[in-house]
Amino acid sequence: MRVVPKVSVVIPSWNGESLLPARLRPRRSCLIVAATLAMLLLFHPSAEAADRLPPRSGTVETEPAQPQWESPPALAPSPEAPWGGNLRVNQDATAFPQNETTIAVNPLNPLNLVGGANDYRAGDGNANCGFYASTNAGQTWSDGLISRLGFQAAGDPAVGFDRVGNVYFACLHFNRSDFANLISVSKSIDGGKTFGPPVAVTGGASIVDFNDKEYLAVDATGGPFDGLVYVSWTHFTANSADIRIARFTNGGISWSAPTSISDTPLNQGSVPAIGPNGEVYVTWQDFFTDRIVIDKSTDGGMTFGPDRTVAGIIPIADPLGGFGWAFRTNSLPSIAVDTSAGPRRGMVYVAWADQRTGDADILIARSTDGGLTWSVPVRVNDDPAGNGRHQFFQWLSVDPHGTVHAIWYDNRDGGGALLRVFSARSTDGGLTFSSNEPVSDVPFDPNIQFAGRFIGDYNGLASSRAFVHALWTDSRTGNQDIFTARRPATDRPAVALGINRSDFHPGDPLVAGFVVVNPGGSETVDFFFGVRGPDGRTLAFFKPGGGVALGDLMDPATFTPTFSGLMLSSGLEFIGPDISSVMLDAGLPPGFYVLFLLVTKLGAFLDGRDDPGDVIALDTKVFHFTP
Q: Output the 3-class SS for 251-310.
A: CCCCCCCCEECCCCCEEEEEEEEECCCCCEEEEEEECCCCEEEEEEECCCCCCCCCCEEE
| pLDDT > 90? residue 39 | no
Nearest-CA neighbor of 149 among 111, 199, 107?
A: 199
Pair 517, 399: CB distance under 8 Å = no
DSSP 8-class letter at 19? H
Q: Which strand (E) or helix (H) includes residue 351?
A: strand 348-354
Please report the pLDDT score of residue 52 as a whole number. Answer: 67
Task: Specify the 3-state DSSP secondary structure of 40.
Answer: helix
Average pLDDT of the residues in 459-464: 98
Please report the pLDDT score of residue 31 as a whole number. Answer: 24
The pLDDT-based confidence of 48 (bands split at 50, 70, 90) is low
CA dihedral 453, 212, 54, 396 (to 10 degrees): -80
Question: From residue 119, how far is each of 102, 103, 127, 450 by CA, in Å?
Answer: 12, 15, 5, 13
For the domain 38-488, what is the CATH code?
Answer: 2.120.10.10
- Tell me the pTM: 0.90
Evaluate whether the domain defined by 16-31+492-625 bears CATH number 2.60.40.3880. Answer: yes
Percent of the chain with pLDDT over 90: 78
Residue 30 exposed, middle or buried by CB count within 10 Å (0-12, 13-18, 19+): exposed
Pair 476, 73: CB distance under 8 Å = no
Percent of the chain with pLDDT over 70: 88
Residue 188: half-sphere exposure toward Cβ, Cα within 13 Å: 26
Average pLDDT of the residues in 567-581: 84
Q: Which strand (E) or helix (H) includes residue 580?
A: strand 572-583
| pLDDT > 90? residue 58 | no
Cβ atoms within 10 Å of 367's Cβ, excluding its own: 22
Whole-number average pLDDT of the chain: 88
The pLDDT-based confidence of 259 (bands split at 50, 70, 90) is very high
Please report the pLDDT score of residue 22 as a whole number. Answer: 28
Q: Which strand (E) or helix (H) includes residue 350?
A: strand 348-354
Please report the pLDDT score of residue 252 as a whole number. Answer: 61
Average pLDDT of the residues in 520-543: 93
| pLDDT > 60? residue 482 | yes
Please report the pLDDT score of residue 592 as a whole number. Answer: 95
Residue 199 phi/psi, 5° resolution?
-110, 130
Please report the pLDDT score of residue 254 as a whole number. Answer: 80
pLDDT tens sequence across 326-373: 999 999 999 999 999 999 999 999 999 999 999 999 999 999 999 999
The pLDDT-based confidence of 81 (bands split at 50, 70, 90) is low
Please report the pLDDT score of residue 50 as a whole number. Answer: 54
pLDDT tens sequence across 5-34: 222 333 322 323 222 222 222 222 222 222
Please indicate whether residue 9 or residue 289 has the higher confidence score (pLDDT): 289
Please report, for the chain, the start and end positions of each structural domain, with discontinuous segments joined by +: 16-31+492-625, 38-488
| pLDDT > 50? residue 615 | yes
Residues 6 or more apart in contact with residue 81 via CB below 8 angstroms: none
